[in-house]
Structure 1
């Protein structure tokens, strides 16, 4: 039986609709869970209002940026509009706008469910760890299903209506650019509040983490949602779209040469199967009455991985796809799991690195920082080796199929690694939900037993967040390697149309390539520094505000009844600072890409992308793992080890966690989006760089 590309696109849309229906059922399930504590309801509403206010203001700023970007795209891409191909430019601009809208919706969906699930999870903890875990996990799963369903739907609709892979790159750029700024803005907000609350509350005053006397405590809980839910949702939406876009660009090029639709069909088929596997994995996720939440989350990931491998093997046999490409996808999937396991080892509070950092904290904060940085750097090796082995294995596995298939193998390895992204997002969104639940339990005075349960769930959330971030960074690594292949394809298509020489690779001994390599390698470091300086400046303003309130509000420090801090002042500081700081860092990376392209052309851009990918992956993995390590070392001490709460070791660990916060939640996870953005800018502007560069 012969299948058309329309069949696979429509099937993908059908699976997307199924994921939306499942997300709606999960949403209703979470919403129906009992909650009756008036104090928790009050605080939960404050968190919800703060998150929605920030998201509204952030999206207004980003809408203005997207409007200007869409106009520039219409004028110049894929070729200047005065060349007469204005319909192509209009399609590109509309695709870009659709990408930003889909990415924004991912953030909104995440906020809406997370600010309900946090309340339900806190109150469910009164009945035990199992119902509390299920409320948190299924709350996160709403976002997982909606985001990945949106990814597949968006890509399918763009291909259905335009049949244009360059327009798909425009859609991906829209998703990436909004994700870059949303992740940066949300990360600055959340770490401003987190650092300020910890430094004044825990270190200076010795009060509990979520003590309602602390003026920054609501802003801290709001930040969990706008940074770790909305920001990460947009980030993983972007990674998934980018992996599919890169694969489809290369697949379409191969199909044009062969005169078929096999490779394009395969991309849609595997992506749809991945989403279906995630639906099954989420639906079957369970935890025993006295189970381990970390084990339950990881087991669900392994089940989803096995389902994807089996179903794609069946699809490969049924539709007579190339088995070597299936092998490349499975290599990516398995390496993703290995990267997750490596991240787990360096961040789990039951493992040696966390214990060693906790022990070092007894000697002072300098040793906390030194040991954490050291383990953070060591942790990059397994992941970097995994990405390298995955790329090499996929390349060599698919190389015998024919010219161009080696790079397609790498792109399908990225698709394979991100195939279970529905489960990954579910696990990731679980983290901030249970973190909020822990704060709500403390502010609602639910008792020590409930706090013990929410602490266990929160610790699992931190560990799994480190795993999912490692997974996302690893997938971004393979995706941008595939995007490098897409860049070469776009350049060669333009070169063939212009009758000039195309690209076969990049010689690092070529001074133009090396020029781009050095600048590209420096960009992630500058980008990270700008984001963390934004957190630093903003946190200093908030610390001053907290001091003012404790100084001027009579009875606040003592916790007198009826005396409440001005929570909204801290939310305003975090919001204003985040909006002020979010655009410059992202804009610098885009502008530098354009400058390098117009100076050195496509050869310089090739070097720029290689340098950017390598240094970006290294920094992202280091910061994500070091931050998670410091966070769980602090929690390990707080659970009664190495002196426990209030000890010198605890104060040192809080300092380490304060340094690690912008590492793991602001700069680290934003870097992989930055890499994707510059890769897409390079592909979209490849024709201009080919024809208008200063050095040729």
Structure 2
């Protein structure tokens, strides 16, 4: 039987009171202030010294490569944006809503692209400044420049996310949730493409550079004699900065979308406003967290970052509790157009938000435990290097598998805890889950800062090593900051995964409401339908349609991950052949007399990554369309459940395995188990090479994948209902749509597989390998 109708007992919110409109206006003002703070932080970062002429030359090459890649990527993605913009008009619904949804789809995509570009453009200027600060001033100044760079991106993420949502609410009032579906979809779709494309670029260059440079030639990671070094540093920015910034922005946007959709049904008018108040307070605490991130003398940078994060989280929890008591009444009877529930709205809001904040804190600690260089799990992985690369790979995989279970259980506990707050009301329970996500995102400004700090510190060390102008204490500072950055990147990936699950779960409720509302609009009772048609609406997992949908949902996550990792393998193979070719044909490179052709590798990574990103993107959009129109509403719900469950475990497994392998390598490079040049070092380099596409390509891309598929389901649900309930002629239309989606998926995967798993089959054909497409 169908599940309970979310909106059945809630009234319609036709407009907002003047008081609530004022509050939304204040939220918009806070968003603008956040953008101003970002501009102030940016000015501070750019005021720092840039180091020596040689350091500036290297930084300039990275800047040019990153800008060239993103410009080509945006031109490619512009085609997808135009196509989806037009398709959104074809969906059923009110004309004004369809127009607004399509327009704000473009706005969401543009904001996501802007955040990514902003993160990249500043990071490639800050890296040399961090290196210069480490060389001339010390650890505290270097860390401040690096973290303030992340602060710029964090405040821009908060500012643009809040501003977009507030503007939609101010313009569309009651219809805001429907229009925001487009805003969230635009942000999620572009973030997924940027995550996949940037991830392929960065890891193709990184893997290629490590395999030839470290393993074959025995030279350091960022040695200027390696032709892939500039591409590697470019990749850090287009993948870890631009990609992750866009990813966290879309998490922010999609969570607000889910919260406002469910808030309208659960809390009425107040449900459209309170989810905006929570992240607005988060913007204030983000500034506090960024300003408090200062390493004390002799203190680890990670300790300073964690301390600032926890302080800002506690302050956010207190402020949100005060806001709930001031803004929300003590009973649902006092809410305008709200659902009926015995729960206390204040208690629901406070506990849900606190749950989200606690979840972020627990995941920060849990991920840090499994991936930190000072923790036993990663130290154990490093120790297995004494017995070779196979045991390094096995220990990293086992660590990832185990950590995924604990993280999934923690996320599941938070989801269930929030669900219990509804006191039997499904809509209130789902809104509580969405509020937990909003609570988690009160820390997003600091989270984005933590993430951007990772690639900035990595690039700073690379510039220092390539230039040869930072030695002694300065080099040691940068090595320490790089290790901290590896851990912060892993932590933010864990938090991003938790956000994705909370948003997807909330969107699952939105999907249920969407299809049930569409059924009501047809005026047809499901009981009057034939038994075969009724089966297409049942949510019973024993229904074969639904079981198949569940399996397909989980399978899509595996296929998506496999496609992303294969793309990295293929592109990295081309890089390996190109770097080998340059070493072979130009002996002067090893002696330092001849400069490598860095641009050749950058071009290979750019072309390959842009070519490869289409297939995973088409899979994410077309798979739910195929299941929904082909198997029915219930099967699509099961599909989403399978994707959420499998995606959670897979994303954590990939992220934590990769993070542990990376930091295990750092431990050995710092002198453990024989240090650089030892067999143990070679073993950890292999482990890190395996982990690169795990943690920086496939794993992070699963987050937007889950949300894109949920949003596609929400958007197509009314059309699926209309074609299912209609006359027999609609069966043919529905079947044709499903088959067309399947054909697109099969064609895309087939084209991808025909490229082969390797760039070439012979070392004797490096030219063909470097140009293999």
TM-score tier, shorter chain, comes to over 0.9
Q: The residue matched to 2:273 in structure 1 has which SS?
A: helix
**Structure possessing the higher radius of gyration over alpha carbons:** 2
Distance across 2 between alignment mates of 1:138 and 1:492: 47
* Residue 61 (structure 1) aligned with residue 80 (structure 2): no
Q: The residue matched to 2:408 in structure 1 has which SS?
A: helix
Superposition deviation, residue 128 in structure 1: 1.1
Within the candidate set 429, 440, 443, 2:452 is matched to: 429
Distance across 1 between alignment mates of 2:448 and 2:156: 10
User: What do you get for the CA RMSD once the two structures are aligned?
Assistant: 1.5
Superposition deviation, residue 661 in structure 1: 0.2
Distance across 2 between alignment mates of 1:201 and 1:647: 15
* Residue 191 (structure 1) aligned with residue 203 (structure 2): yes
Distance across 2 between alignment mates of 1:86 and 1:145: 35
Distance across 2 between alignment mates of 1:565 and 1:230: 27
Deviates most, 685-694 or 327-336? 685-694
1:403-552 to 2 correspondences below 5 Å:
404-445=427-468, 446-500=470-524, 506-552=539-585
Deviations 1:609-636 (A, max 9, x none): 0000000110000000000000000000
Unaligned runs of 5+ in 2: 1-16, 330-345, 527-535, 725-730, 736-773
Distance across 1 between alignment mates of 2:423 and 2:190: 35
Distance across 1 between alignment mates of 2:26 and 2:678: 58
Look up the match of 1:82.
Answer: none
Distance across 2 between alignment mates of 1:591 and 1:375: 33
- 1:427·1:465 contact (CA, 8 Å) conserved in 2? yes
Question: Runs (4+) of structure 1 moved beyond 6 Å?
Answer: 502-505
- 2:51·2:129 contact (CA, 8 Å) conserved in 1? no
- 2:97·2:178 contact (CA, 8 Å) conserved in 1? no
TM-score scaled to structure 1, two decimals? Answer: 0.96
Distance across 1 between alignment mates of 2:378 and 2:592: 34
- 1:5·1:264 contact (CA, 8 Å) conserved in 2? no
Look up the match of 1:689.
Answer: 720
- 1:78·1:684 contact (CA, 8 Å) conserved in 2? no
Aligned residues: 682
- 1:621·1:668 contact (CA, 8 Å) conserved in 2? yes
- 2:553·2:642 contact (CA, 8 Å) conserved in 1? yes
- 1:328·1:412 contact (CA, 8 Å) conserved in 2? yes
Distance across 2 between alignment mates of 1:602 and 1:418: 31
Superposition deviation, residue 100 in structure 1: 0.6
Look up the match of 1:315.
Answer: 323
Look up the match of 2:294.
Answer: 286
Look up the match of 2:122.
Answer: 113
Superposition deviation, residue 595 in structure 1: 0.5
Look up the match of 2:156.
Answer: 146
Deviations 1:331-389 (A, max 9, x none): 12101211121111110011111111111111111101111100110101221111111
Distance across 1 between alignment mates of 2:255 and 2:97: 23
Unaligned runs of 5+ in 1: 80-84
* Residue 654 (structure 1) aligned with residue 666 (structure 2): no
1:528-677 to 2 correspondences below 5 Å:
528-560=561-593, 563-677=594-708
Distance across 2 between alignment mates of 1:238 and 1:160: 21
Superposition deviation, residue 403 in structure 1: 5.1
Distance across 2 between alignment mates of 1:493 and 1:5: 26
Superposition deviation, residue 89 in structure 1: 2.4
Distance across 2 between alignment mates of 1:220 and 1:69: 33
Q: The residue matched to 1:249 in structure 2 has which SS?
A: helix
TM-score scaled to structure 2, two decimals? Answer: 0.86
Look up the match of 2:391.
Answer: 367
Deviations 1:213-238 (A, max 9, x none): 00000000000000000000110011
Look up the match of 2:533.
Answer: none
Q: The residue matched to 1:62 in structure 2 has which SS?
A: helix
Distance across 2 between alignment mates of 1:431 and 1:582: 24
Within the candidate set 275, 278, 281, 1:273 is matched to: 281
Within the candidate set 61, 65, 71, 1:50 is matched to: 65
- 1:358·1:368 contact (CA, 8 Å) conserved in 2? yes
- 2:98·2:179 contact (CA, 8 Å) conserved in 1? no
* Residue 135 (structure 1) aligned with residue 135 (structure 2): no
Distance across 2 between alignment mates of 1:36 and 1:593: 51
Look up the match of 1:233.
Answer: 245
